[in-house]
A and B are shown apart, each in its own frame.
Chain A
């Protein structure tokens, strides 16, 4: 069964550093998402992406965040200057159909900012 994959599984970085989280969505999917989950809290939507542009973003997704699909398979989330409060699990998701509630999530990247 096709899966969404994410790398790395765990990233430790110092405050102020840039990080790039990588995702490989399911190959025939066209819509891509990033969510985050701070330890013990809800899963929160960050951004959705389609046809090489952002479709929707949340208030969390400020100027420090950016997303990119650099090639035909990868989907990345960049945080330019990490803050302590960016520590969380970051999940990538993908879907084949616009607006569907059936999204396929990756295993997540645990980001720890020290």
Chain B
């Protein structure tokens, strides 16, 4: 399984765009990049998944360069309620294994 590296924490202010980068140098050909969000005392919540280039949904954008060795989760105009831990996961989608492997994530603190 590819190992991921993210910043331990980030600070931002309301209204700013936040970019969280994840490094995954050993990503395999069949691996996808998936991001989850977790609020305190709640279960993780799926945000977005991509394989290459750019993916956008109503919550976030995910940028993946051609070499796929890193990815950037972009949150537009964050609010206080975006304060959470964000996890980058790398693994097959629809493959034989079902488990998600979480790292320590990035604690995003949004201030007024």
- On A, residues with C-beta under 8 Å from B are 4, 31, 33, 35, 42-45, 48, 50, 55-56, 58, 89, 91, 93, 95, 97-108, 110
| B92 contacts the other chain (CB 8 A) | yes
Count class of interface residues, chain B: 20 to 34
Q: Can you name 8 A-B residue pairings with CB atoms under 8 Å?
A: A4-B43, A42-B102, A42-B103, A43-B38, A43-B100, A101-B34, A101-B100, A110-B41
Q: Summarize B's interface: helix, strand, loop or mixed.
A: loop
A43 touches B44 (CB 8 A): yes
Q: A99-B92, A101-B91 are in contact. Are A56 and B41 (CB under 8 A)?
A: no
Complex CA–CA separation, A104 to B93 (angstroms): 15
Cross-interface CB contact of B43 among A45, A93, A95, A98, cutoff 8 Å? A93
Contact indicator per residue, chain B 26-48, by CB within 8 Å of chain A (1) or not (0):
00000010100010011111100
Q: Which residue of A lies closest to B101 (CB)?
A: A45
Q: A33-B98, A45-B99, A101-B93 are in contact. Are A89 and B41 (CB under 8 A)?
A: yes
B104 touches A42 (CB 8 A): yes
| B95 contacts the other chain (CB 8 A) | yes
Complex CA–CA separation, A31 to B98 (angstroms): 9
Complex CA–CA separation, A85 to B31 (angstroms): 33
A56 touches B99 (CB 8 A): yes
Q: A97-B94, A98-B94 are in contact. Are A103 and B100 (CB under 8 A)?
A: yes
Q: Which residue of A lies closest to B43 (CB)?
A: A105
